[in-house]
Each structure stands twice: as structure tokens, then as C-alpha cells.
């Protein structure tokens, strides 16, 4: 592999690596970026300094950047909407109040069009899902080198600024929605009705094995489709931004071309990040509607 190809590969790996916090076992040999080696004398909770260390930390490790950014953006969403709610007036609304009211009306229309049951929690859930995911996706418009430079200035080895490029985040949200689907399915239909739907739909009692297989796959596919669709699209978008950023180091001509590409992809990506938030919200509403439907 050539030196340029090797540096490009390292560049990509660096920007796709999460800031991971976890436990390394006693006797683990560490090596920092300066080449200094250290052997841990006891089990140590620490930030991973390399992709290998993050892998060796195993299951009980935490992507601090993804968790931190998702929490910060969630709090920002609550703060902005609460501020509008407290200062809302019946007169001529401010620009921000008008925007928030338009968002709420849009969510309300989506819920009325896709949800036929009665549950006052569905609309707030849809609003939270849409705005929170949109804000997390929006971080993809921050230049990857800016986020990396800020992390380096703060003394951090890595920092991924887009939470939805982390499958742990997308699966976490999808599993939360899935648990609500199970909860309301049992609440509305009863445990017997829920299990009966799995066992006797769509082929009746004589097709129970096939029913369980089909309905079981259909049930499990819901959180998987929610999580993987969002993660896959955002990860691909982030990868394209990284590949465009590499072009800046290939000469003035490629740098100018990269600038045009970056602008064009950013404009197009605004549609993608909005669409992905909308799809996740719409599927959540549809799945909740299915959980509230009783089959006789």
C-alpha cells in the first residue's frame, strides 16, 4: 500500500472511530500516540486511545461522544420548545413561535393520518422522535475536520459528532419504540390476544407453526428496520463527507472540485437528514397504530 493510500485509510478510520470509555484488564499493554508503552497493573476504566483498545474493552463500554451529543441535543430540543411554550402569545407570533407551531401542526397532521387509535402519548412521541433525530442528523453538516480539531484541542483522541452514525444509538431508540409496541399490544389486546395474534394470524389455528414464524419475523423486523435504515443512511452520508475531505489534500484542482462537491452534497444531505427523521417518525406512528388494532 502506498504512503498516500495508507494515510487516507488512517484518516478514514480516525474519523469513524468513537470516543470509547471502558475497562481494560490488568496486564494489558497500552501504547499511546507518542509510542510510549504502559502495562496496566490493575483493571482500569479509561478512554480508549486506539480502535484496538476500544474493541478490547468489550460489551460493557460506552461511546461517550454519541451518548454525550444525543443527550445535549435532546436537552436543547426540550429547552427550545419549552421556552416557546412558556412565552407563547395569542397575538402575532414571533418567527420562532410560528416555526414551532408549524412543526407541531405538521406532526399532528401526520399522527391523525396514520394513527387510528386513542392514545395521547403518540403525538408527543412522534414530535420527540422527529426533532431529536433531525438534530442528531443535522450534526453531519459540521465539517469532520472541525470536530476532530476541537477534540484534539480538548485532549481527546477521537470524537464522532453525529450520534446516528453509531448503531448503538439507532438500535437504542428502535428498541425503546419496540418495547412500547409490545407494551401497548398487550395493554390493548391483553396477553392472550397478543399471543393469539402471533399464533393464529394469518392462517388460523392449523397454521400455527407458520404463523409463529411469519409473525415472529415480522415483529423482530420492526426494530431492526428502524435502526439499520437510519444508521445505514447516515453512516453512508458521513463516509461521503470524509472522502470529499480527503480530496482537499490532493492539490489545488482537486481541492476546488472538493469544495463544489462538499457544497452540493451538503445541500442534498439536508433533504436526507430530514427524510430519515420523517421515516423513523412515520414508521413509529404506524407500528403504534398496529399495536392498538384488535383482530377478531
Which pLDDT does position 231 carry in this prediction? 94
Express each pLDDT in 181-236 by its tens digit: 999 989 988 888 888 877 777 777 767 788 788 888 888 999 999 999 999 999 99
Predicted TM-score (pTM) of this structure? 0.87
Contact yes or no for 75/68 (Cβ under 8 A): no
Q: How confident is the model at residue 32 (pLDDT cuts 50, 70, 90)?
A: low
Write down the mean pLDDT value for the chain: 86
Mean pLDDT of 120-144: 92
Q: How confident is the model at residue 5 (pLDDT cuts 50, 70, 90)?
A: very low
Which pLDDT does position 273 carry in this prediction? 93
Which pLDDT does position 1 carry in this prediction? 41
Catalytic residues: 225, 229, 233
Express each pLDDT in 212-226 by its tens digit: 888 888 889 999 999
Which pLDDT does position 295 carry in this prediction? 60
Task: Answer yes or no: is pLDDT of 54 > 70.
Answer: yes
Which pLDDT does position 200 carry in this prediction? 75
197-203 CB contacts, 8 Å cutoff, 24+ apart:
197/295, 201/295
Task: Give the total residue count for the chain.
Answer: 296
Q: Residue 109 burial by CB count (10 A; 0-12/13-18/19+): exposed, middle or buried?
A: exposed
Express each pLDDT in 140-187 by its tens digit: 888 877 888 888 888 888 889 999 999 999 999 999 999 999 999 899
Contact yes or no for 229/171 (Cβ under 8 A): no
Which pLDDT does position 92 carry in this prediction? 66
Amino acid at each position: 500500500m502506498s504512503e498516500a493510500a495508507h494515510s487516507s485509510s488512517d484518516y478514514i478510520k480516525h474519523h469513524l472511530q468513537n470516543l470509547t470509555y471502558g475497562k481494560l484488564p490488568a496486564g494489558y499493554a497500552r501504547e499511546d500516540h507518542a509510542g510510549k508503552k504502559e502495562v496496566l497493573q490493575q483493571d482500569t476504566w479509561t478512554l480508549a486511545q486506539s480502535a484496538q483498545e476500544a474493541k478490547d474493552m468489550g460489551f460493557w463500554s460506552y461511546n461517550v461522544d454519541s451518548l454525550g451529543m444525543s443527550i445535549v441535543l435532546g436537552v436543547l430540543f426540550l429547552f427550545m420548545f419549552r421556552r416557546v411554550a412558556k412565552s407563547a402569545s395569542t397575538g402575532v407570533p414571533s418567527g420562532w413561535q410560528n416555526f414551532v407551531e408549524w412543526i407541531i401542526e405538521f406532526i399532528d397532521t401526520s399522527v391523525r393520518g396514520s394513527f387510528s387509535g386513542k392514545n395521547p402519548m403518540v403525538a408527543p412521541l412522534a414530535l420527540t422522535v422527529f426533532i431529536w433525530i433531525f438534530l442528531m442528523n443535522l450534526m453531519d453538516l459540521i465539517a469532520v475536520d472541525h470536530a476532530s480539531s476541537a477534540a484534539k484541542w480538548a485532549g481527546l483522541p477521537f470524537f464522532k459528532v453525529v450520534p446516528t452514525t453509531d448503531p448503538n444509538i439507532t438500535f437504542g431508540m428502535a428498541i425503546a419504540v419496540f418495547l412500547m409496541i409490545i407494551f401497548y399490544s398487550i395493554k390493548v389486546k391483553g396477553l392472550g390476544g397478543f399471543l393469539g395474534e402471533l399464533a393464529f394470524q394469518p392462517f388460523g389455528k392449523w397454521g400455527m407453526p407458520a404463523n409463529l414464524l411469519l409473525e415472529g419475523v415480522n415483529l423482530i423486523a420492526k426494530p431492526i428496520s428502524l435502526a439499520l435504515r437510519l444508521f445505514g443512511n447516515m453512516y453512508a452520508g458521513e463516509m461521503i463527507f470524509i472522502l470529499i475531505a480527503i480530496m482537499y489534500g490532493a492539490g489545488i484542482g482537486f481541492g476546488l472540485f472538493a469544495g463544489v462537491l462538499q457544497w452540493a452534497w451538503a445541500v442534498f444531505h439536508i433533504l436526507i437528514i430530514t427524510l430519515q427523521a420523517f421515516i423513523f417518525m412515520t414508521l413509529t406512528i404506524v407500528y403504534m397504530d398496529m399495536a392498538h388494532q384488535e383482530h377478531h
